[in-house]
Homo-oligomer: A and B are copies of this chain.
């Protein structure tokens, strides 16, 4: 399949390239960047040096239409929505990495992003690209809206607990720790090395933009409104997200009940790993262990002393939280083995 990457100079674009250049079923036909048009992609993504002679080009619809069957749009929020409609109209399938098509309720865009959605009719057509929840719809989708990285890390551990009615839906706390690559490739004061290195900095402790998609999807699972109290922290790592979910128990439960809930939902999932083996240093999820892989590691403890369940999920924000998840969706759309091009584990130590 001939694929294109629209907006390929960011970190997600780089990961898409890394994955797609080795994917046996795809040929990268073009990769665009307005800023770097004419430059070798390896000048921007130096790990790809020697592996490709591709250069960035400017975006032209006609060129994309002619050379691609499917495109990944890896543009900033608010920019995707401007070109996705024309790509769809041209008959291309689109896997969009931005937030522009994740929310079903058009009003949510005004509320959480500050702008009116220009093509609200596309919101119902778009499929929220979390394979573990929407596999069948992804298979037939024309437009996939890839989940936010922190949303992925939050929904995956919570979905089975909600399905199995194990937790109190009114008091869900999600305390997230996130690496610096999550904020993108553009330099900023918040990601300036002297400021970011060695610190642990809360940001957007209420009203983070990933909340509406988390609540939308979990409410779908619960079949009633679910609210989450969500607070992220910028920590001193480059890649990775650890979501610590603190939930209060809806009833008396044991570790076994929780394992059963997880197994029930994820038994056949290729990219969910459970941490049950009580040996070694990594008995709970740590994003360090999934860096570069598409895995979501999940582990937990029942804290019956205080009637709490604490669950940890770890992902690589650029992989399971973005490019890896997008390729997973692609595999589903292609009807091939879902692991294709995503088999590789992370490095240890890294």
B244 lies within 8 A of A246 (CB): no
Nearest CB of chain B from residue A278's CB, rounded to whole Å: 9
Q: Is the CB of A347 within 8 A of B18?
A: yes
Indicate with 1 or 0, residue by residue over A232-265, a CB within 8 angstroms of chain B CB atoms: 0101111110101010100000000000000000
Per the bound structure, the CA–CA distance linking A96 and B299 in Å amounts to 37
Contacts of A346 in B (CB 8 A): 47
Given A201-B288, A344-B344, list of 11 further CB < 8 A pairs? A180-B193, A185-B192, A191-B192, A197-B198, A199-B287, A199-B289, A200-B286, A202-B284, A202-B312, A235-B236, A239-B350
Does A43 belong to the interface (CB within 8 Å)? yes
- Interface members, chain A 31-65 (any B CB < 8 Å): 39-40, 42-51
For the complex of A and B, list the 7 residue pairs with the smallest distance between their C-beta atoms, beginning with the closest.
A199-B288, A43-B280, A194-B349, A47-B348, A187-B187, A180-B193, A46-B282
Query: A224 near B: Cβ within 8 Å?
Result: no
Given A40-B277, A195-B349, A295-B50, also A288-B200 (CB < 8 A) = yes
Q: Tell me which of B180, B181, B240, B306 contacts A229 (CB under 8 A).
A: B306
Find chain B residues with CB under 8 A from A337 CB: none
Q: Is the CB of A197 within 8 A of B42?
A: no
23 A–B contacts from the bound complex (CB under 8 Å): A18-B345, A22-B344, A43-B279, A47-B345, A47-B348, A49-B275, A50-B295, A177-B177, A180-B197, A191-B192, A191-B193, A193-B238, A195-B281, A195-B288, A196-B197, A197-B197, A199-B288, A200-B288, A201-B284, A206-B308, A227-B305, A229-B310, A236-B237
How many copies are assembled? 4
Q: How many residues of A sit at the interface, in one of the four size bands?
A: 35 or more
**Does A135 sit within 8 A of B, measured CB to CB?**
no
- Let me know if B238 and A205 touch, CB within 8 A: no
CB distance from A215 to the nearest CB of B (A): 10
